[in-house]
Every structure is written in structure tokens, then in C-alpha cells.
Structure 1
Amino acid sequence: MQLVAVLALEDVIAFDLATPVELFGRVRLPDGRPGYRVVVAGEESVGAGPLRITPGAGLDVLERADLIVVPGRHDPTAPTAPEVLTALRAAAERGTRIASICVGAFTLAEAGLLDGKTATTHWLGTDQLARDYPAVRVDPDVLYIDSGSILTSAGASAGLDLCLHVIEGDYGVAVAAASARIAVAPLHRTGGQAQYILRNRPTHQTANLERVLEWIEENAHRRLTLADIGAAAGMSVRTLARRFTEETGQSPIQWLTGVRIRHAQELLETTDHTVDRIADQVGFPTTSNFRTLFAQTVGVTPGAYRRTFRPVS
């Protein structure tokens, strides 16, 4: 039986903490024995939104843990207590598996455990993680990443995917499938986090492009060229391309494609329009072009996306 220590830091996200506690705690092996012993480790009492949580163990339990799980905090950029970082670094040096859920990746990055590694986190935090910790290769599109002794997951329910992945690696498909049935969750989900991202929305970081971004939002359904966008912005094509690269990390046409993809997602979620009609409505030149770019960007086909997000009538 493996010991799982779930770290409870001040301001912990209760959902992130409860996911590994419940999932690992309910694992049963074929002979009925529990697969894991789960403890919550941390200070005497921590806030978790409207809740207060009293951990059952101190940080010293991390020294004996086979797996340490670090949930996210509501403010992932808040400094972590030095003794927690020290304990995590010591565990990593011993080769203990350490996994983060959602923005718990910020805590691992603060401890230096993600340097030189590929990691993920909730899609709303991927840009921040990449800015704050440039030594980390951030992949915003996946549900989780297993780098061996260090594992990271995307937001919210992706913690389920990560925990099920760990269970499958420890005890095999049958035990993991049984755990998935108890959680009423698929053992493996189609696609990754990419299908949940809202793309190319203007933010404070794109304030200098506000006027042209609003124009693209309103005109993305038209057959636009780079020259059309430049004219709307009152810039030369060269200046336009430079501004977009500086403020969005994308070319104007890449930004336009992202807007069209987002508009298509909205139509797939809210209408019964055919894929052909949606491709035309949002501005793609052909349905095949739309299908290809949608799958490349979102990670699933338009039909699979609709089945996931369109309410059953």
C-alpha cells in the first residue's frame, strides 16, 4: 500500500485537494485491499475559500510519502512558505513522485522542480507560468504531463485524469478502470485541454491593438487578407505584423484564425448548424480547411467537440 500525501497550503482550492483524497482513497485492489493510504499534510488549519481544513499530518510525513500531490491555490503567485519549498526539494532529491493539480504547478515551479521540464497548468495560468518561470517549457494544450518523478495537470477535472493515470501506472488498467467507474469519469478523455481554451480574446496586454482587434472580431466572417487588416488598423502590413508579434505572439492571420475557431466553437455549442454551414459562417474558405485547422488547434474534430459541449436535447 502506497502512502499519498496531499499538501494543504493556505488558500488551497478545495476541489483540487478533494480530488486526490477521494480518488486515491477509494482505490481497491482485486483482493479488496486498499491501494493507497491518503493523508492531508500541512499547517494546523488552512483556509480553502469558504472552508477551513485541518490537515491530519505535518510536513514531516512528506519524508515517508510515495507520492506527494500539490493542489492549486486561489492566488497561485502568492509566495510559498520556505519550509514547504525545502520539503518539496528534499522529496524530489529522494526521487519521490510529486504531482501538481491545476495551478499547483506554480508551487512546483517556485521550488525549482520544473526547471528544464515540460509542464502544464490551468489554461488561464499558462501564460503567467511561462512568464514567471522561463526555465519551464509550458504546454497549454494537454490534460496532464508525466515527466517521470514530476507530474503536472491542467485545471479542475484534469486532476481526475492525472490521478487515474497514476493509478493505471501503479496497479494496471483494471484497477484504474474500476476507479474511473466509481468517479463516474472516463479513464481516458478524448482530446486535451486545448478544447477548453477560449482563444484570442483582447486583454489589457493587447491594449495598443484594441481598435483592430475589435474590427477583426466583427469582420472575421469575411474573406480577409493581411492588407485588409492593415487598412483597418491604419498601419502598413510590416508594422501590423510587428505589433501583433510583440503584443500577441501571433501573426495577424494566426490571430484571425483563432477568432474564427472561437466563433465556430460557440456555434457548435449553441446551434444545430451543419459543419459546412459553420465553416462558411465564421469565414473559412472551405470546409476541409476548417476541419483541418479546427482539429490542429482544438485537438478534436468539430463533431467530437460538439458531442462534448452541445447539451443533449
Structure 2
Amino acid sequence: MLCKDRAMHRIASLVRPGLLPIELGIVHQLFGNARSASGAPLYEIVTCTIVPGQVPTDADFTIAVERGPEALAAADTVIVLSSKGDYQPQTGGRLDGPMADAFARIRPGTRIASICTGAFLLAAAGLLDGRRATTHWRSAPDLRALYPAVEVEENVLYTDSGDVLTSAGVAAGIDLCLHMIRRDHGATVANEVARGTIVAPHREGGQAQYISRPVPEPRSSSTAGARSWALRHLDRPLSLRELAARDSMSVRTFTRRFREEVGISPLQWLTQQRLERARQLLEETDLAMDRIASDAGFGTAASLRQHFQSAVGVSPSTYRATFRGAHGSEWTVRESAFSGASGSRGQRR
């Protein structure tokens, strides 16, 4: 937590051409609304860029940025925002030229964070070597391939290595900023910021719940009959012997061919299909959990919850609240979710 008698904490947001305006808004909205018990602002936020002037965004407008890289030298925290160009990384490598000069201005001990694909810039600066880091799940494979010294974790909303932090896709910047406010000034201040912005002070789970996982098409189709039949009967117990019989094979032959064609075992495939069926029912229907568990072949709501939590990272009810909202089961965020108690969560009923 920050020392109470020190000067106001200064945050510098580093923007680049092709920036996503929403990310800049997140930083100013959240840190700008953090207040002490007496109502005094706790942060000073400035925006800077390599060459001051009109900076193009990924939308149909530009923003005027007056401050240059010299603002980085006076910052206590530097937040590197993403750029549209990050989504087409070409080659790995270290920073050079004006961007390297800009990073050289950052004082030792300064906290540095990134939102979304801003992590690529931190990786190029060598700040993520040997550290846990994340970025948008679609870009995580590129980050891992380009910077093998980085321990990429694509299923988390943010990482905190002390003086270096990273967040996943755009909205995860909210989670990261609230985390930093909570770390600096405690849960009461962070929860009050969340309450004023009408966002959850803490989100459960990671990126797994937002990743679509279509099952790849097999290279051949000698087990296609069994797979097609299984998809029509996911609600009932299915044994290997029964599946093998659909394609007139022994269990051993069926298992071997299935793995050759699909890349995983029949039982792993069945679990994946049942999870996808459960996802679909949670998103598109108001069915009770027991019914969804039965229709997806998990038998009981407890079994569904166990498998879903393990694979997706959140409970079925949390997933439904995220992707179906008011159209699904009732989910209310009570005042206690925004209270000063550390780690408090929204209540479901």
C-alpha cells in the first residue's frame, strides 16, 4: 500500500498510433475517481506519446496529446496501452529508436503495466523475461512464440509481478486498474471506484470463459458414425463398448482410430461435447441447472459444476450471468459486493 504522506501518485498513460480510445478512458475513469476518505484525489493521470500532436485511434477520430516521452520520467506508474498494430506482430526483438529512448527515461523502481496487447511492448523492452504475463487470448500464441523467455498465461485476467503487471483483453484493463488501486489504497477505495463506475470490484474466473473452442474436424471419418450418434444422445450414459459397436469395431480398434482421427480419446471428446452443450443451454435457455446437467449428460448439477469449473474457470451460474444476463436466471449485485470488505463478491439467488 502507498505511503499516506507521500505526494500524489502520478500515472502516465503511453499511447501510440492506432490506440483503442476505450483503454485510455478506463485509466482516466478508474484512477481519476479514486478518492481519499476526505474526498481528495489519489492519483494524477497524464497522457503521453512519442511524438506529441494528433494521434490516430482505431476509430474515425484522433486525439490531441500534448505531452511527449519526458512525462515518463516523472511517473510513478507507467501504463502502456495497446495499439491496433499489435494485432499483426511481425517479428520479435528488442526496442530500438525513439521507443527505446522513451523507455530509458523511466526511473528505476517505477511500476509498469500494460493493457491487452501492450504486453508486446513490455516484452520487447525485456521487462517480461522470466515473468508471468498475459495478453488477449487471441494474441497469446504470438506473444509466446515471439518472446519465449516470457511465461505467457492466457487464461488469467491479469498478472502481478510486483513492479510489472499485465492484463488480458481490453475490459480486463478494468480488472487490472482496480487491482492496482486496491493494492495501493485498500479494498474500500477500490470498491468505491467500482461502485461509481458500475462494474464488479472483482470478476471470477479468467479468459477461458470467453474462448470459443470448436472441436477440430478429424482427418478421416471411420468413427464418424459413432460421433454423430453420440451427439444425438449426449443426455444418456455412453460407454466405449457402445460407441465402438456403432462403427462395428472392437473397443481397442475404435479407441486407436478415434484418437488418430480426432486427436483425443473418446471420453475426452465426450466431455468436451457435453461442456459445449452445457454452454449452449446456459447461454440460450432458462432451464434449471439439474435439467441442463441431465441434457448435457453430466447427470447431476454437482457433476456439471465440477466439470465446468475445471474446464472454464467459473461456475455454470456465473457463466450464465455473464453471457445471458437478465434473460437468464436472476442475478443481482447487492450492496455488499461494493462494501469495504476485501474480496467480497456479488450474491446470486
Q: Percent identity?
A: 39
Equivalent residue number for residue 99 of structure 2? 84
Equivalent residue number for residue 56 of structure 2? 47
Equivalent residue number for residue 188 of structure 1? 202
Flag the 1:215–1:67 CA change in 2: closer, same or farther, 3 A: farther
Equivalent residue number for residue 13 of structure 1? 20
**SS of aligned partner of 2:85:** coil
1:103-182 map, 5 Å: 103-182=117-196
What amino acid maps onto 1:120 in structure 2? T
Structure 2 stretches of 5 or more lacking a match?
1-7, 328-349
Which residue among 214, 222, 226 is the counterpart of 1:201? 214
Greater shift, 123-132 or 171-180, is seen at 123-132
Higher helix share: 1
CA deviation digits over 1:211-269, x for unaligned, max 9? 6899968844545667859x98x997457646766xxxx66654553343233112111
TM-score between both structures, scaled by the size of structure 2: 0.75
Equivalent residue number for residue 260 of structure 1? 274
Equivalent residue number for residue 29 of structure 1? 36
Displacement of 1:32 in angstroms is: 2.5
Structure 1 stretches of 5 or more lacking a match?
none
CA deviation digits over 1:16-54, x for unaligned, max 9? 222112221222222232211111110222211122122
**SS of aligned partner of 2:102:** helix
Equivalent residue number for residue 94 of structure 1? 108
Greater shift, 2-11 or 47-56, is seen at 47-56
Q: Which whole-Å CA distance do the structure 1 matches of 2:44 and 2:228 have between them?
A: 52
**SS of aligned partner of 2:139:** helix
Flag the 1:237–1:307 CA change in 2: closer, same or farther, 3 A: same
Displacement of 1:159 in angstroms is: 0.8
Displacement of 1:165 in angstroms is: 0.9
The alignment yields a C-alpha RMSD, in angstroms, of 3.2
Equivalent residue number for residue 346 of structure 2? none
Greater shift, 103-112 or 162-171, is seen at 103-112
Equivalent residue number for residue 58 of structure 1? 68
Q: Which whole-Å CA distance do the structure 1 matches of 2:229 and 2:81 have between them?
A: 40
Structure showing greater radius of gyration is 2
